[in-house]
């Protein structure tokens, strides 16, 4: 369970690869719905199910702001 938490929380970040995001979001839903481990799925507080386009855009903007300051 701990490995699933780490994988799902890491790979569902907005910066994550779109294919990894979809797979891990599905894993998260299946843990709750199919396997019936709702408490475990709820404990994955950093699992992100938001729809993200241009995954790296915000990270690139933040990096640009840091470079401009520096």
- What are the CA-CA distances from residue 38 to residues 6, 13, 43 (Å)? 17, 21, 9
Across the chain, mean pLDDT equals 93
- Whether residue 63 is predicted with pLDDT greater than 90 in this model: the reply is yes
Based on the structure, what is the number of domains in the chain?
A: 1
Range of the domain at 26: 2-69
Q: How many CB atoms lie within 10 A of CB 23?
A: 16
pLDDT in tens, 11-30: 999 888 899 999 999 999 99
How far is the C-alpha of 15 from the C-alpha of 51, rounded, in Å? 12
**Which pLDDT belongs to residue 70?**
81
């Amino acid at each position: 369970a701990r490995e699933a938490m780490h994988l799902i929380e890491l790979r569902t970040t907005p910066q994550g690869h779109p294919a990894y995001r979809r797979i891990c979001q599905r894993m998260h839903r299946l843990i709750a719905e199919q396997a019936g481990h709702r408490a475990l799925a709820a404990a994955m507080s950093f699992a992100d199910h938001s729809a993200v386009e241009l995954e790296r855009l915000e990270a690139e903007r933040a990096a640009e702001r840091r470079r401009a300051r520096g």
